[in-house]
Structure 1
């Protein structure tokens, strides 16, 4: 991996991680177009640069993280279902990650759902995500389990889960941002542990690549979050639904035409 490839992947991560469009699907297309081989470091890179995107949430919403301990308890409760299921079904999930076709299909299915979600849940009563109950936080966490299927999108599943619990689109999106923090930290820790356990080490250049990737991801994610909230508030999910369908069909078409796509 060179610096250009690292910056492109970081831009993709920053743009798509918090949007309901599946960062995995975009990583597939981006890595395929660049001819990037899924080496141990590349796979680690795509996970660890999420730390930069986490920082963007902390910077944008830092005041929300000092309001009360209940806020942290709700995040922990919401993170439990996917964390447990991810550990129990780890091998099965890894097998799903070998199927780009699954990603393409789930992008299309999720896109179709987003076309109608605004009509299904059009009577929200909670405008601030901090006001949800512990039960609602847990239910949203259960929806997050759907994101274990590649191509579903963690953001999409948790935002829809929030809307089923009477959150406005904005409140559901913000809780999804907050919930990403424990999940991404956990994923990065596990990936780093496996990387070193398998005997890999970082070269000086790889450390620099990780630093550059996190900085780029941080800056792009801040822009993406602000833009996403504006678009979501004004136009709802249809724009993202159609976009998912197009990206999913592109992946499916590439696979059917003989292109070899791999999930980095």
Structure 2
């Protein structure tokens, strides 16, 4: 990859990881437009760049991580379903990752849901995610399993899951951010392990690209998170729903017209 491509992909990751729009779908579009081949390092980069976005959550919400020990227990409970389903159905998930059509369809379906989610769950009673029960955390975790289908969006799944448990839009979004940390960190470590187990290495240029990518992703993610919380608190998710429908329809249209999109 060139430095320009590294920066663009990092910006895309930082902007879309915590928004309910599917970072996978946007990575597909960005990589296809730039003609980036899915080499082992490129695949590693798209996962490892998440470390910068994880750090953005830790910086923005650092006080929350010192509030109570039960907070960590609830995150652990919420993470269990996706870990279990991910291990049980890893082969099926890998097969879906080869289908850009799946991404387009799930973007559209998720977009339609976001158009109505504010009306469906309009009587929230929990304004602080610390106040959810372990059972509610587990239920949100099961919603996160939907994100194992490419194009669904981990953020969208967990935010909708939080709203079904009577969390406010802000509280649901914030819990989604927190839940991303163990999931993304674990995925990054696993990807690094697989990368080196396959006999790959990193030269100085690739190390520099990973560093630059994570720095850019960190800065962009901070801006995205702050903006997102303000938007959803005031206006809800309808705009994100329409955006998903447009992007998903564009992917489907490209595929039907004979274009080939590479999944990173």
TM-score interval, normalised by the smaller of the two chains: over 0.9
> Which residue of 1 is the match for residue 187 of structure 2?
187
Q: TM-score, normalised by structure 1?
A: 1.00
Distance in 2, Cα, partners of 1:57 & 1:70: 19
- Structure 1 residue 66 corresponds to structure 2 residue 63: no
Moved over 4 A (4+): none
Aligned-CA RMSD value: 0.4
Distance in 1, Cα, partners of 2:213 & 2:243: 25
* Structure 1 residue 18 displacement after superposition: 0.1
Distance in 1, Cα, partners of 2:2 & 2:203: 13
Q: Give deviations 1:41-89, integer Å, cap 9, x for gaps.
A: 0000000000000000000000000011100000000000000100110
> Which residue of 2 is the match for residue 4 of structure 1?
4
* Structure 1 residue 216 displacement after superposition: 0.2
Aligned pairs (5 A) from 1:1-264: 1-264=1-264
Distance in 2, Cα, partners of 1:121 & 1:176: 17
Distance in 2, Cα, partners of 1:176 & 1:77: 13
Distance in 2, Cα, partners of 1:259 & 1:143: 32
* Structure 1 residue 257 displacement after superposition: 1.2
Distance in 1, Cα, partners of 2:129 & 2:57: 14
What 5-or-longer segments of structure 2 have no aligned partner?
A: none
Q: Secondary structure of 2:150's partner?
A: coil
Distance in 2, Cα, partners of 1:240 & 1:168: 17
Q: TM-score, normalised by structure 2?
A: 1.00
* Structure 1 residue 195 displacement after superposition: 0.2
* Structure 1 residue 2 displacement after superposition: 1.0
Q: Give deviations 1:129-170, integer Å, cap 9, x for gaps.
A: 111011100000000000000000000000000000000000
Q: Secondary structure of 1:30's partner?
A: helix
* Structure 1 residue 256 displacement after superposition: 1.0
Distance in 1, Cα, partners of 2:70 & 2:172: 17
Distance in 2, Cα, partners of 1:232 & 1:111: 15
